[in-house]
Structure 1
């Protein structure tokens, strides 16, 4: 029986994982999907990690920590601090050692990748468009239900000064949404190879993969060998 610690992205709503949680629990697994203090401007990655670990409690057997988008840095830090069987990053901000979340946007090349994807889609403006970037493949009823759970994301994680001290020594899986418009798939694939040393698993769906394609995501999460760093097909772990 696996214990899944599922960390949401911006807005900090544990509800984001509810469709995935239903499917994992149906397998007999335990799911912990905490709300993170996204609306607290004083809370950064260390506080997010504390909240997640408090929710996990004394569960220590067969733990897999999963980070979505902004949940990625917190998931990596948790895997560094406590014993977990596996780290999974889903459409995530994959950090580099010594790099803060605030620095990630420039250091990763995100802006250039997104602008190229916007141009390829025939759009003129690369400015933020929630509907186009996040909700294009989320069922309308699911998107409507999520509105009450979402909170405003403050700049806390981007200005608190936290950076990753060292990459955790655990197996890593990276899951990429093939249709992600916010973190384009080819951009994510490059980061997975360069930073996590792993060939990612590409799943149909956009940035909010747990809402758009929960079945595909669960299949990727529960596959024992998919994209795990250290496999014969994976490049050496990036330092």
Structure 2
């Protein structure tokens, strides 16, 4: 049995992984897909959230599952969640046996880190669909307006679910880069699960980040930015393969 800790991206909660988690559990694996502290909270909760706090939260989940199952631990992050798992691996490289980046932010080590902002796409439509809340402590996204970017290929019966779980995103972690080193973060095997039809993080941006982090394995899915809704079976297969 393997263990999977699944870290959601911006504006989402752990519920986005429900379909994938159910498939992995049905195959005998242990899964945690928590909602990061502060997500959707009031001003105090939003301001209290930090990237380091989230990274340590993810590490605690890895440690809990490892002690419970004793099997390999895969720490996966979607979208902004890539920064969370990167910093977690930098803090404690031994906590996870494999890192999985699901169309996620992949921060390179060393001087190439300065090139990352140029690979972050500017999406005017998404910016128009967002608004500050709680005195600037967080950002909310209009679900209907975000759907063409987040889940345009999502099955019709899951579209409502795809936007119903969107919540306020703390501004602090979103604007904090993960600083990683080749010696610590770079010592953990990692795989990038690229999504060909992604409109939030277009494939050229995903591959631009990959080019800055040589040694990263790649798995390709024909999916939008939400493979946990669009192709949950293939995503579960890809994650399970990493535990082997």
Same-fold call, TM cutoff 0.5: yes
Does the residue aligned with 2:213 lie in a helix, a strand or coil? helix
1:90 aligns with 2:102: yes
Cα root mean square deviation, aligned: 2.6
Aligned to 1:132: 148
In 1: Cα distance, 2:115 partner to 2:211 partner: 16
Deviation at 1:14, TM superposition (A): 0.4
The structure with the largest helix share of the pair is: 2
> Where does 1:176-215 land on structure 2 (aligned, <5 Å)?
176-215=194-233
User: TM-score scaled to structure 1, two decimals?
Assistant: 0.77
User: Structure 1: any 5+ residue segments left out of the alignment?
Assistant: 115-125, 227-239
In 2: Cα distance, 1:106 partner to 1:42 partner: 25
Does the residue aligned with 1:89 lie in a helix, a strand or coil? strand
In 2: Cα distance, 1:105 partner to 1:151 partner: 26
Aligned to 1:44: 50
User: Structure 2: any 5+ residue segments left out of the alignment?
Assistant: 41-45, 127-144
The structure whose RCO (Cα within 8 Å, separation 6+) is larger is 2
Deviation at 1:34, TM superposition (A): 0.5
Q: How many residues align?
A: 210
1:106 aligns with 2:117: yes
Aligned to 2:181: 166
Does the residue aligned with 2:57 lie in a helix, a strand or coil? helix
Deviation at 1:54, TM superposition (A): 3.5
1:14 aligns with 2:30: no
Greater than 4 Å deviation, 4+ residue runs? none
The structure with the largest strand share of the pair is: 2
Deviation at 1:145, TM superposition (A): 2.4
**Contact (CA 8 Å) 2:189, 2:216: kept in 1 or not?**
no
